[in-house]
Each structure stands twice: as structure tokens, then as C-alpha cells.
Amino acid sequence: MHAVEARSGGLFITGTDTGVGKTLVGAALAYLLTAKGCRVGVAKPFESGVADTSRLGQDGDLLRWASGSDAPHDGICPYRLDEPLAPALAAQRQGVRIEWPRVLDTLRQSRAQYDFTVAEGAGGLLVPLAGERLVADLVADIGWPLLVVARPGLGTVNHTLLTLETAKARGLNVAGWIINGLPCQADVAQAHAVQQISGLTDIPCWGVLPQVEGTDREKVVKLARQMEGWDMVRSIRQGSRPEVNG
């Protein structure tokens, strides 16, 4: 089992699908750790749907702001792609050749230069990144613990368990999972999702994040406050070595 630790580690964040809020979760974690004195690196090796590929996209820019990272654009997101498609297809259509060693070097250099690095994938674990390589292959190659972000509501039990089972079947070290965006007035499916998932997996739930309003930066600050009391986040911040399922 790997540990999620502050002084020599990183965490890779994936989602059960696209649009589940994994960038907000990653940015909130980076923001909180930075506020507590940890030098945090951030990485989103692939971002699609970037209007101006000479600059960071919306997700990369939010991660950079949240962490206060001084890394160059390519050190955060080496592959910025213009069409909102899976990276492998977007790169092919844009005429961009993905160099896998460059992707791995981006993550490793960030981990070497900062106390802790928060990295984010594209969509879910089986999204194609380059040729036959998927997000899951990137997680396996880099070897960092994995955090899964899920949405609340009908279908999330199936999607979350599928993601967790896929990760375990591929030998990935799954640190935990989060439900993000729970409404104040939750319906029956939303209210019972955590209990149902927890009863069907031994992988721990880090916590549940509420639905928040405002700009992306305002949302990050609000979510960081929610995370402050979480046991795993305290462990990262304190530099301890909590054991996680994997």
C-alpha cells in the first residue's frame, strides 16, 4: 500500500465521468494545503477545449491560481488541445504528437520541486490519452495514490463502483473517493449514495462536498473550508503516512 504524504508525494484525481467537479476538488485541496504552508505543485497533463493553446486552459489556470504555483505553463499542462474531445482524438485532429515520456516527466518534476503535487486526469479512468494509453495507464506509470470524484444522485452508485473496481483490477492504489456537489435538499438517491457505496466497497470515502455557488475561485475557497476537517487531508498536511486501500 502506498501512503498519501506531504513531503515526497502526490495525489492523482480522476472522476467517474466528465463534469463531476474534479478540477474544483483538486484546486480546493491545493488551496487548502497551500494556505497551511505546504508548497503545492499542480498538474493537468492534458486539457481539451482550450480556446488559446498558447496559454493555460480554464482548468489549468484554476489549479495554478489555487496553488500559487510558479511553474511555467508547460510544467502544469504540456498538452493543451483546442477541441473539447478525448485527448487522443483531439491531439490527432490538431496534428499534435503526444510524447508519453514528456507527460511522465511533467509529473515527476513537479513532485521533485514541490512538497506535494495534485494532478488531475481527463474525464474518467478509461479516457484515451495517446494511442492505446488511457488515464488508468498514466496513473499506473506514475504510481501515485488515486482519488475518485463522483457526483451525487441516481446512477452514481453504479458509476463509482465501476470506477473503483476498474482501478483495483488494474492494480492502482486507490486512496479514496469523494461525493461532490450534494444539494442542500437532497433527494432519496442523493441522500443514500454514500451509505450504499460504502456498503459495497472497502475503499474509504474521504467525505461529501456540498453544492456551492459563485465563481470558480469562490467555489474553490468554499470547498477548501469544507475539506479542512477531513482526516486524510489533515494527514497530508501534517506529513504523516496514513495507510490507504489499494
Please count the other Cβ atoms lying within 10 Å of the Cβ belonging to residue 58.
Answer: 13
User: Which residues are within 8 A (CB) of 45 and not within 5 positions of it... i.e. 6 or more apart?
Assistant: 77, 78, 79, 103, 106, 107, 119, 129, 138
Grid cell in block for residue 240: 504523516
pLDDT of residue 222: 98
Show the domains of the chain with their CATH numbers. 9-238 (3.40.50.300)
Marked catalytic residue, from 44, 168, 219, 222 = 44
Q: How does pLDDT run across 125-146, given as a tens digit for each residue? A: 999 999 999 999 999 999 999 9
For the sheet containing 116-120, what is the strand order? 40-43, 116-120, 9-15, 146-150, 174-182, 205-210
Active site residue 44: yes
- The per-residue pLDDT of the chain, averaged, comes to 92
Q: Is 202 exposed, middle or buried (0-12, 13-18, 19+ CB in 10 A)?
A: exposed
pLDDT of residue 124: 96
Grid cell in block for residue 222: 468554499
What are the beta bridge partners of residue 179? 150, 208
Residue 119, SS3 per DSSP: strand
User: Which residues are within 8 A (CB) of 225 and not within 5 positions of it... i.e. 6 or more apart?
Assistant: none
What are the beta bridge partners of residue 234? none
Q: How does pLDDT run across 31-67, given as a tens digit for each residue? A: 999 999 999 999 999 999 999 999 999 999 999 999 9
Whether pLDDT at 180 is above 60 = yes
Decide which of 99 and 233 is more confident. Answer: 99
From first CA to last CA, the distance across the chain in angstroms is 6
Among residues 28, 86, 76, the alpha carbon closest in space to that of 55 is found at: 76
Enter the DSSP assignment of 56.
-
pLDDT of residue 129: 98
The gap from C-alpha 125 to its chain's centroid, in whole angstroms, comes to: 11
pLDDT of residue 125: 97
- Kindly report the pTM of this predicted structure: 0.92
